[in-house]
Amino acid sequence: MNRTALAVFLSCASFSFGQTDKKISYFPLGDVRLSESVFSAAMDTDKKYIMSMNPDRLLSPYLKEAGLPPKADNYPNWENTGLDGHIGGHYLSALSLMYASTGDTKVKNRLDYMLDELERCQDTSGKGYMSGVPGGKKIWKEIAEGNIRASGFGLNDRWVPLYNIHKLYSGLRDAYWYAGSEKAKKMLVKLTGWMADEVSGLSDEQIQEMLRSEHGGLNEVFADVYDITENPEYLKLARRFSHLAVLNPLLESEDKLTGMHANTQIPKVIGYKRIADLENNKAWSRAADFFWANVTQKRSAIIGGNSVSEHFNPTDDFSGMIKSIEGPETCNTYNMLKLSRELYATNPKSSYVDYYERALYNHILSTQNTGKGGFVYFTPMRPGHYRVYSRPESGFWCCVGSGMENHAKYGEMIYAHSDKDLYVNLFIPSTLKWPEKQIMLRQENNFPANPETKLVFDLAGKSVVNLKLRSPEWAEPSEVKILINGKQHHIQPDADGYFNLSKKWKKGDVVEMKLPMHLSAEQLPDHSDYFAFKYGPVVLAARYGTQNQTGLFADESRGGHIAHGPQIPLNEIPVILGSQASVISHLKKVNAKDLTFKLNGLYPQDKFNNGLELIPFYKIQEERYIIYFPQADQGKIEIIQKQKAEDEAAIRKLDRITADKIQLGEQQPESDHFFESKDSNTGYMEDRHFREAKGWFSYQMRNRDKNAKYLYLLYFDANNNRTLHAEINGIKVISKDFDGKPGSSPQSLLIPIPESESHKEILTVKFNSGEKSLTPKIIEVRLLSETPE
């Protein structure tokens, strides 16, 4: 797209500013209070966790950047290795949501303290600026001058500073929206004005170049500032911060997502939708809906989560999800729920809530340690693996930040309303106040253990209100029973998936909804031979032992969020023996009261003669588990198991002798190894990420046991006239030319490590291409303690 076309595309002249296409509204969190349930327990645990944190440590990066003396040291982990301050922004949001949800004044006092200190930072810095980005003033100055050096996870030699500052923007917005802080609003508008000034001299092309770097949902929050201030300059800013490389294919209903870093894209799409609503822009709204449908229907596991090692895997190959210990990322689902909520507001169909419910029960609820309050980054779908939990003094990943928010806002989607309609979307025990209609509604149940819910009108106004009860995807509408004051009413759901009860309600009226649940089996989206089970909306899983859960509670290392403990070989995982059509017949209910089931007919029969017990996945804590079970008939089982055993043996041998490894071209592994580069880029080929360079790139690798003897490279030798020069701690270890073998599978290269360096804990590995060449496409780098056979 040329500059003129881009400018025309970004022009807002053809849209009506200030209009919104929303058909329903959400109740303020303060009008919805949770009653006793697993959700209220999770909220209480979350409150204890966030209130145990030291605000001065979270504020330290902001004070330093403002030139003020910090009152305490930064927290460790991501908070002092380049992403300093990002949790502080999430913390503002979490406190705001928790205060709105509970009314706890101690939470509000903590929020006010954070805002007071941040105001000092903003006033000291001047021009409305503040952030925790280390050396931020220098890079913002460079960017304002047009000196933009962007990569997927870097910008001007910093770790995603736009993503970082987005958390602060969101936190200030939430402090105003949910906690009513006028101070936060003032700070938010000033910070947005600063950004508008910073990029005012940049062309649209320069901003699009900058947006190659992960930037969170800046377009969304700038649209929110427009909604708050009605200043059209901020909506123009939101459009300028909308990444066209992702938007344009979506506008054409094209799926170009495979290989993309998943959570980089989802917040952008939330922003497209937010802008679309404010402009009544149907095309952008359809693009967001296409993305949502694609991700939820083709790219998500049964728990509602998506991605392998943070990236979208091919829609026709989920083998990576089964093999990887880095399964769906919590932040992805956090943002997919936000997108679902935005889409539902303009098109209130129950299908959005069906996904929301699935992801809420089976991913979000499961990612909190119910006893200690820690949060989960990856939820592996690999059978027999486990999750790692954060600790409040050492774990500060992105999913800790979003995790603090997740469990503070369970009331946001239970109910919704239009002028005459009251929607009941989720079956979560709670009370609702609707002052405008003089309605107080109480929802009572023991869902999902008992598949029914009761709605009691403790107060009812004089007007007619249409009560809309969601008809969930997992319940057959003809089997749903609806009773009003004990009398059954035979109703069919409408086209949007709701049962409608319209009347003038009276105090004491009782509506009961009985929702028979059934067992179902769900195949992986690529239709490979792996099945998982649900009872109604609840995903079931088998406990699989507590052995060898290395790093179950994460330390402060950059890779501490990954479950690096031993992987149970896939060929040792129990197999459902029989045809695909017979899979569901292997599962029987044992005890409906606590949702316990027994899975029988497993191979090998001598080992699993008594079957396996399955329970709701969200109840499994600090244990290995199986969600997806392989399936095979008798004729295939031995062939499949033999191939799995061979594949697993090769992988285990390499992993056993590996001291450290990096998946090149993937954001987190590279940033965890302190990546630096000049004139390098990433790509995606044959379902593998890679990095190549015309200049150089380097990493710091950890030789934990100080016994590494070899540097192992996996690469594509797909192009001729390639050259590789490699150094370890400044010592040249190889110079090699490559002729290129197009179409060949990945090749490996083993490079001896100099004796003088092999016993050092940190090895800086640097690759460069020479003056007139490029490096090969390098996929993976490992430190090995011995030669692989």
Token digits of residue 366 = 């499961």
- Give me the pLDDT at residue 2, please: 42
Say if strands 575-577 and 629-632 run parallel, antiparallel, or are unpaired.
Answer: parallel
Burial class (CB in 10 A: 0-12, 13-18, 19+), 382: buried
Distance of CA 19 to the CA centre of its chain: 30
Q: Residues 371-376: contacts with CB within 8 Å, 24+ apart?
A: 371/621, 372/553, 373/45, 373/46, 373/48, 373/49, 374/49, 374/553, 374/554, 375/330, 375/399, 375/400, 375/403, 375/404, 376/330, 376/403
Read off the pTM.
0.87
Rounded distance between C-alpha atoms, residue 44 and residue 121, angstroms: 32
What is the model's pLDDT at position 15? 40
Q: How many helices (H) and strands (E) does the chain have?
A: 20, 34
Contact 406, 339 (CB under 8 A): no
Cα→Cα distances 1→4, 248, 297, 567, 779, Å: 8, 10, 31, 47, 31
Q: Residue 662 has what pLDDT?
A: 95
CA–CA separation, 619 vs 596, rounded Å?
A: 11
pLDDT for residue 642: 78
For 525-616, list the strands marked E by DSSP: 530-535, 538-543, 575-577, 587-591, 596-599, 602-603, 612-616
β-bridge mates for residue 151, sequence order: 154
- Sort 725 into a burial class: Cβ within 10 Å, 0-12 / 13-18 / 19+: middle
pLDDT value for 651: 81
Which pair of structure tokens corresponds to residue 744? 């060949």
The pLDDT of residue 744? 64
* CA pair distance 282, 8, nearest whole angstrom: 17
Exposed/middle/buried for 531, CB within 10 Å: 0-12, 13-18, 19+?
A: buried
Length of the chain: 789
Burial class (CB in 10 A: 0-12, 13-18, 19+), 122: buried
pLDDT given at position 575: 95
Pair 66, 132: CB distance under 8 Å? no
Considering only CA atoms, which of 268, 260, 261, 139 is closest in space to residue 216? 268
Could you tell me if 689 and 779 are in contact, meaning their C-beta atoms sit under 8 angstroms apart?
yes
Identify whether the C-beta of residue 243 lies closer than 8 Å to the C-beta of residue 210.
no
d(CA 322, CA 255): 23
Under the phi-then-psi rule, with left for phi > 0, alpha for psi from -120 to 50, and beta for the rest, what region is 156?
left
- How many Å apart are CA 239 and CA 8, to the nearest integer? 12
- List the one residue out of 1, 465, 546 whose CA is nearest residue 251: 1
Neighbours of 502 (CB within 10 A): 12
How many whole angstroms separate alpha carbon 603 and alpha carbon 637?
Answer: 9
Nearest-angstrom CA–CA distance, 664 and 775: 13
DSSP state of 363: I
DSSP string, 292-321: HHHHHHHSB-TTS-B-BTTBPPPTT--HHH
Q: 682 pairs with which residues across the strands?
A: 691
Task: Give the rounded distance of the alpha carbon of 556 from its chain centre.
Answer: 21
Q: Count CB neighbours of 639 within 10 A.
A: 10
pLDDT means per 10 residues in the chain (789 residues)? 40 42 92 98 98 98 98 97 97 98 98 98 97 96 96 90 98 98 98 98 97 97 98 98 98 96 97 97 97 98 96 94 95 98 98 98 98 96 97 96 98 97 98 97 97 97 96 97 97 97 97 97 97 98 97 93 91 93 96 89 90 97 98 82 78 89 90 91 79 93 93 87 92 88 79 94 93 86 91
The residue type found at 737 is D
Distance CA 213, CA 220 (A): 16
Q: Among 242, 215, 241, which Cα is nearest to 133's?
A: 215
**Which residues touch 129 (CB under 8 Å, ≥6 apart)?**
122, 137, 140, 191, 194
Are 184 and 170 in contact by the 8 Å Cβ rule? The answer is no
